[in-house]
Structure 1
Amino acid sequence: MFACLVLGLALCPIHILVNKTIAWIGDISYSVYLVHSPIIVALFPFYKQIQASGGGRIETFASCFVLTLACVLPTAAVTYHVLEKPTNKWGKRLASRLAGRKERPRLVVRKAA
Protein backbone atom coordinates (compact mmCIF):
# COMPACT_ATOMS: atom_id res chain seq x y z
CA MET A 1 0.00 0.00 0.00
CA PHE A 2 2.77 2.42 0.95
CA ALA A 3 4.68 1.55 -2.21
CA CYS A 4 1.60 2.45 -4.27
CA LEU A 5 1.40 5.81 -2.48
CA VAL A 6 5.09 6.55 -3.12
CA LEU A 7 4.85 5.46 -6.75
CA GLY A 8 1.71 7.53 -7.26
CA LEU A 9 3.34 10.64 -5.77
CA ALA A 10 6.41 10.08 -7.94
CA LEU A 11 4.37 9.79 -11.13
CA CYS A 12 1.71 12.42 -10.36
CA PRO A 13 2.95 14.71 -7.57
CA ILE A 14 0.33 16.56 -5.54
CA HIS A 15 1.54 20.13 -5.05
CA ILE A 16 0.46 20.20 -1.39
CA LEU A 17 2.62 17.16 -0.61
CA VAL A 18 5.48 17.66 -3.07
CA ASN A 19 6.96 21.15 -3.02
CA LYS A 20 10.09 23.08 -2.02
CA THR A 21 8.91 23.71 1.54
CA ILE A 22 8.34 20.02 2.20
CA ALA A 23 11.72 19.23 0.60
CA TRP A 24 13.38 21.81 2.88
CA ILE A 25 11.71 20.27 5.93
CA GLY A 26 13.00 16.89 4.74
CA ASP A 27 16.52 18.30 4.46
CA ILE A 28 16.52 19.65 8.02
CA SER A 29 14.48 16.80 9.53
CA TYR A 30 17.44 15.11 11.27
CA SER A 31 18.44 18.44 12.79
CA VAL A 32 14.83 18.94 13.91
CA TYR A 33 15.02 15.52 15.58
CA LEU A 34 18.25 16.48 17.36
CA VAL A 35 17.24 19.94 18.60
CA HIS A 36 13.55 19.57 19.43
CA SER A 37 13.97 17.86 22.82
CA PRO A 38 16.38 20.40 24.37
CA ILE A 39 14.25 23.26 23.04
CA ILE A 40 11.08 21.77 24.52
CA VAL A 41 12.82 21.40 27.88
CA ALA A 42 14.04 25.02 27.68
CA LEU A 43 10.54 26.25 26.78
CA PHE A 44 8.80 24.37 29.59
CA PRO A 45 8.50 27.50 31.85
CA PHE A 46 6.85 29.34 28.94
CA TYR A 47 4.43 26.45 28.44
CA LYS A 48 3.42 26.77 32.10
CA GLN A 49 2.81 30.50 31.65
CA ILE A 50 0.71 29.88 28.54
CA GLN A 51 -1.30 27.21 30.36
CA ALA A 52 -1.82 29.54 33.35
CA SER A 53 -3.11 32.31 31.08
CA GLY A 54 -6.54 30.68 31.18
CA GLY A 55 -7.07 29.80 27.53
CA GLY A 56 -8.87 26.68 26.43
CA ARG A 57 -7.09 23.42 25.68
CA ILE A 58 -7.01 23.99 21.93
CA GLU A 59 -5.70 27.56 22.25
CA THR A 60 -3.08 26.46 24.79
CA PHE A 61 -1.92 23.60 22.58
CA ALA A 62 -1.84 25.80 19.47
CA SER A 63 0.15 28.51 21.27
CA CYS A 64 2.69 26.02 22.60
CA PHE A 65 2.95 24.34 19.20
CA VAL A 66 3.55 27.62 17.36
CA LEU A 67 6.11 28.71 19.96
CA THR A 68 7.93 25.40 19.63
CA LEU A 69 7.97 25.56 15.82
CA ALA A 70 9.16 29.17 15.93
CA CYS A 71 12.17 28.04 17.96
CA VAL A 72 12.87 24.59 16.49
CA LEU A 73 12.77 25.34 12.75
CA PRO A 74 15.33 28.19 12.69
CA THR A 75 17.60 26.35 15.13
CA ALA A 76 17.41 23.18 13.03
CA ALA A 77 18.09 25.13 9.82
CA VAL A 78 21.22 26.71 11.32
CA THR A 79 22.33 23.34 12.70
CA TYR A 80 21.82 21.73 9.29
CA HIS A 81 23.83 24.35 7.39
CA VAL A 82 26.59 24.85 9.97
CA LEU A 83 27.10 21.29 11.23
CA GLU A 84 25.24 18.58 9.34
CA LYS A 85 25.91 19.58 5.73
CA PRO A 86 29.68 20.17 6.13
CA THR A 87 30.03 17.01 8.20
CA ASN A 88 28.26 14.97 5.52
CA LYS A 89 30.62 16.38 2.86
CA TRP A 90 33.63 15.57 5.02
CA GLY A 91 32.32 12.04 5.66
CA LYS A 92 31.83 11.39 1.94
CA ARG A 93 35.36 12.59 1.16
CA LEU A 94 36.77 10.42 3.95
CA ALA A 95 34.81 7.37 2.79
CA SER A 96 36.04 7.90 -0.78
CA ARG A 97 39.65 8.11 0.38
CA LEU A 98 39.33 5.04 2.56
CA ALA A 99 37.75 3.11 -0.30
CA GLY A 100 40.68 4.05 -2.53
CA ARG A 101 38.64 6.11 -4.95
CA LYS A 102 39.68 9.48 -6.17
CA GLU A 103 37.63 12.51 -5.35
CA ARG A 104 35.55 13.97 -8.12
CA PRO A 105 37.46 16.78 -9.79
CA ARG A 106 36.28 20.21 -8.79
CA LEU A 107 35.65 22.93 -11.29
CA VAL A 108 37.99 25.82 -10.56
CA VAL A 109 36.95 29.16 -11.95
CA ARG A 110 39.64 31.83 -12.08
CA LYS A 111 39.09 35.42 -12.85
CA ALA A 112 40.80 36.75 -15.96
CA ALA A 113 43.60 39.18 -15.21
Structure 2
Amino acid sequence: MAESNQERAIEGWVWNENVLPLLTLLAGYAGYDFDGTDWQAVGLALGATDDEHPDGWYSYPLVGSSHHLEVHLAQAVGGSEVSVRVAGTSDPELLLRADTLIAAFATRLVA
Protein backbone atom coordinates (compact mmCIF):
# COMPACT_ATOMS: atom_id res chain seq x y z
CA MET A 1 0.00 0.00 0.00
CA ALA A 2 1.37 3.43 -0.95
CA GLU A 3 2.13 6.04 1.68
CA SER A 4 -0.06 9.12 1.71
CA ASN A 5 1.32 12.56 0.90
CA GLN A 6 0.86 13.57 4.53
CA GLU A 7 3.17 10.73 5.61
CA ARG A 8 5.77 12.02 3.19
CA ALA A 9 5.67 15.63 4.37
CA ILE A 10 8.92 17.46 5.07
CA GLU A 11 8.85 19.64 8.17
CA GLY A 12 11.08 22.26 9.75
CA TRP A 13 11.39 25.99 10.20
CA VAL A 14 12.99 28.95 8.44
CA TRP A 15 13.73 32.55 9.41
CA ASN A 16 11.03 35.08 8.47
CA GLU A 17 13.26 36.73 5.87
CA ASN A 18 13.78 33.39 4.14
CA VAL A 19 10.13 32.51 3.49
CA LEU A 20 10.04 34.29 0.11
CA PRO A 21 13.21 32.67 -1.26
CA LEU A 22 12.04 29.27 0.04
CA LEU A 23 8.68 29.57 -1.73
CA THR A 24 10.27 30.91 -4.90
CA LEU A 25 12.68 27.99 -5.15
CA LEU A 26 10.06 25.37 -4.23
CA ALA A 27 7.74 26.81 -6.86
CA GLY A 28 10.50 26.62 -9.44
CA TYR A 29 11.05 22.93 -8.64
CA ALA A 30 7.31 22.35 -9.06
CA GLY A 31 7.24 24.20 -12.38
CA TYR A 32 5.15 27.05 -10.95
CA ASP A 33 5.87 30.75 -11.52
CA PHE A 34 5.67 32.25 -8.01
CA ASP A 35 5.18 35.99 -8.46
CA GLY A 36 4.42 39.14 -6.48
CA THR A 37 0.72 38.36 -6.29
CA ASP A 38 1.46 34.98 -4.72
CA TRP A 39 3.82 36.57 -2.22
CA GLN A 40 1.25 39.23 -1.37
CA ALA A 41 -1.32 36.53 -0.51
CA VAL A 42 1.15 34.56 1.60
CA GLY A 43 2.53 37.65 3.33
CA LEU A 44 -0.91 38.87 4.34
CA ALA A 45 -2.00 35.48 5.64
CA LEU A 46 1.21 34.71 7.51
CA GLY A 47 0.66 37.45 10.07
CA ALA A 48 -2.47 35.71 11.37
CA THR A 49 -0.88 32.29 11.82
CA ASP A 50 0.26 30.52 14.98
CA ASP A 51 2.42 27.41 14.88
CA GLU A 52 1.23 26.32 18.33
CA HIS A 53 -2.33 25.69 17.11
CA PRO A 54 -3.22 23.06 14.50
CA ASP A 55 -5.85 25.35 12.95
CA GLY A 56 -3.49 28.33 12.99
CA TRP A 57 -1.52 27.31 9.90
CA TYR A 58 -1.82 28.78 6.40
CA SER A 59 -1.73 26.48 3.39
CA TYR A 60 -0.61 27.60 -0.06
CA PRO A 61 -0.68 25.35 -3.13
CA LEU A 62 2.15 25.40 -5.64
CA VAL A 63 0.57 23.70 -8.64
CA GLY A 64 3.09 23.58 -11.42
CA SER A 65 3.75 21.74 -14.62
CA SER A 66 5.95 19.17 -12.84
CA HIS A 67 4.50 18.76 -9.34
CA HIS A 68 1.70 19.83 -7.02
CA LEU A 69 3.03 20.90 -3.63
CA GLU A 70 1.07 22.03 -0.61
CA VAL A 71 3.12 24.35 1.60
CA HIS A 72 1.85 24.88 5.16
CA LEU A 73 3.24 27.86 7.08
CA ALA A 74 2.82 29.25 10.58
CA GLN A 75 4.54 32.05 12.42
CA ALA A 76 6.27 31.26 15.72
CA VAL A 77 4.46 33.56 18.13
CA GLY A 78 6.92 36.05 19.60
CA GLY A 79 9.73 34.71 17.41
CA SER A 80 11.41 35.34 14.10
CA GLU A 81 10.83 31.84 12.79
CA VAL A 82 8.21 30.35 10.51
CA SER A 83 7.34 26.68 10.80
CA VAL A 84 7.08 24.95 7.42
CA ARG A 85 5.58 21.68 6.20
CA VAL A 86 5.83 20.69 2.53
CA ALA A 87 3.53 17.91 1.31
CA GLY A 88 2.00 16.73 -1.92
CA THR A 89 4.70 14.71 -3.61
CA SER A 90 6.23 11.29 -3.30
CA ASP A 91 9.13 12.22 -5.60
CA PRO A 92 12.27 11.42 -3.57
CA GLU A 93 14.39 14.05 -5.35
CA LEU A 94 11.87 16.81 -4.68
CA LEU A 95 11.51 15.73 -1.05
CA LEU A 96 15.29 15.93 -0.65
CA ARG A 97 15.36 19.36 -2.29
CA ALA A 98 12.60 20.64 0.01
CA ASP A 99 14.39 19.26 3.07
CA THR A 100 17.68 20.83 1.99
CA LEU A 101 16.06 24.21 1.35
CA ILE A 102 14.40 24.22 4.77
CA ALA A 103 17.68 23.32 6.46
CA ALA A 104 19.57 26.00 4.53
CA PHE A 105 17.00 28.73 5.23
CA ALA A 106 17.08 27.92 8.95
CA THR A 107 20.58 29.37 9.05
CA ARG A 108 21.59 32.99 8.89
CA LEU A 109 24.56 33.60 6.69
CA VAL A 110 27.00 36.24 7.88
CA ALA A 111 28.59 38.25 5.09
Q: Classify the TM-score, shorter chain.
A: under 0.3
**More strand per residue: 1 or 2?**
2
**Bigger relative CO (Cα 8 Å, ≥ 6 apart):** 2
For normalisation by structure 2, the TM-score amounts to 0.26
Q: Max radius of gyration: which structure?
A: 1
